[in-house]
Amino acid sequence: MARAESIVLVNTGYGKGKSSAAFGVMGRAWARGWRVGVVQFIKSGKWKTGERKLADHLEIEWHTLGDGFTWESTDLDETAAKGRHAWDVAAAKLASGDFDLLILDELTYAVKYGWVDVTDVVEGVRARAPHTNVVITGRDAPEELVALADTVTEMRKVKHAYDQGIKAKKGIEY
């Protein structure tokens, strides 16, 4: 059986655990002494703060949508330009050879919202440094990404506390 130099994982679906599983892999990779980077394509006040704090503690490089972005008048609206900028950051990291693992958290939304063309994503992931493993998360992974990936998991909601009138819980869900 072949041992791939690097693999591409996609966590998609409407259930819980897509990003959690990516951050579990982040911890595992850290434990192995890997160089890990995270690019987060959705910015939110409270979400991801736990993961970010852990990443900082582990000295993992983390880029959030909007970081280092300077608005200049273009044809794009500001949100799309930020999304495109985050993808450019991710593409540079993919190609750099500086990482054993890159987590592209919620990348599928950048495609879904039209910030980045799926062909650019496929090309960027294909053109990555050979040893750079990639984990991509988000709902509605486009079929081109599924085709490209080595492992794809659909997180399917069987039951969710929210449906039963229970609010998201700090420490568990964010």
Indicate which single residue of 101, 107, 110, 121 sits in contact with a copy of itself (rule: CB under 8 A).
Answer: 101
Q: How far apart are CA 3 and CA 115, in angstroms?
A: 34
Query: Quick check: 126 binds a copy of itself (CB under 8 A)?
Result: no
Q: How far apart are CA 125 and CA 77, in angstroms?
A: 25
Indicate which single residue of 45, 75, 130, 166 sits in contact with a copy of itself (rule: CB under 8 A).
Answer: 166
Radius of gyration of the chain from its Cα atoms, rounded to whole angstroms: 16
Query: Quick check: 100 binds a copy of itself (CB under 8 A)?
Result: yes
Residue 33: CB minimum distance to a copy of itself, A? 8
Give which of 102, 174, 113 is closest to 139, Cα–Cα: 113
In this structure, what DSSP letter does residue 161 have?
Answer: G
Please say which residue, 80 or 155, places its beta carbon nearer to a copy of itself.
155
Encoded one letter per residue, x for contact with a copy of itself by CB under 8 A and - for no contact, window 4-23 reads x--x-xxxxx-xxxxxxxxx
Helix 18-31 crosses helix 49-57 at what angle (to 10 degrees)?
10
Query: Quick check: 80 binds a copy of itself (CB under 8 A)?
Result: no
In this structure, what DSSP letter does residue 127 have?
Answer: T
User: What residues make contact with a copy of itself under the rule CB under 8 A?
Assistant: 1-4, 7, 9-13, 15-32, 34, 49-54, 57, 100-101, 133, 146, 149-161, 164-167, 169-172, 174
